[in-house]
Amino acid sequence: MALEIRFFMAEEDERELLRRLEPLRLELWPVLSDPGFSAPLVSSGTRLVEPAYYLAAGDVTGYPIKKGPERGKWKIDEVVSPVIFLQRSLPDESSALRSGYFWAETEVAGDNARTGGKPQALLRAVRGLQDLVKSRYRRSSPVRGLTYFVGPACARAGTPLREEGRKGEPVVVYR
């Protein structure tokens, strides 16, 4: 079963998130990496520049891209690897903040007796992330059946919030 948490985060919220994830010793992988890339550990001093990352809790499995402009780079197999996908919440051209999300596959497909399931480090990281977001973030009013979590700094700033996508609906902080 996959876990998905939709959110809005300002840069200050991202720094706070990375600071709280630091004790878990997760690796920060870009979506596409060069062969032989060594991922740094997540820390409060880590600067996020790419629109998306993987937070890895162990050895990752990847495959080379064989066609297209990213030919020769490696992509992480997110279903098999113990990773949490982070799509950052970034401002658009009209200065509204677009939504981001966390996604993690928490169960292994197939025979759990042979594969052993997902590592405890990943399950601990997912549980910690869920607890952090649900306890510290504010909820939005539902938009087409979805509720978003809004970071404390983002809620204080009063930045206009919009769903990700071409026709992103405006989102309002509920409480």
Residue environment code for 91-126, b if the CB has 16+ CB neighbours within 10 A, otherwise e: eeeeeebbbbbbbbbeeeeeeeeeeeebeeebbebb
In percent, the amount of the chain with pLDDT more than 90 equals: 65
Report residue 106 as tokens: 């928490």
97 vs 169, higher pLDDT: 97
d(CA 101, CA 119): 22
The CA distances from residue 57 to 46, 112, 125, 134, 165, in Å, are 17, 19, 8, 21, 29
Residue 112 has pLDDT above 60, yes or no: no
User: 85 pairs with which residues across the strands?
Assistant: 54, 103
When comparing pLDDT for 131 and 141, which is higher? 131
Residue 32 scores a pLDDT above 60: yes
pTM score above 0.85:
yes
- C-beta neighbour count of 41 within 10 angstroms: 13
Distance of alpha carbon 114 from alpha carbon 47, whole angstroms = 39
Is the distance from CB of 7 to CB of 101 less than 8 angstroms? yes
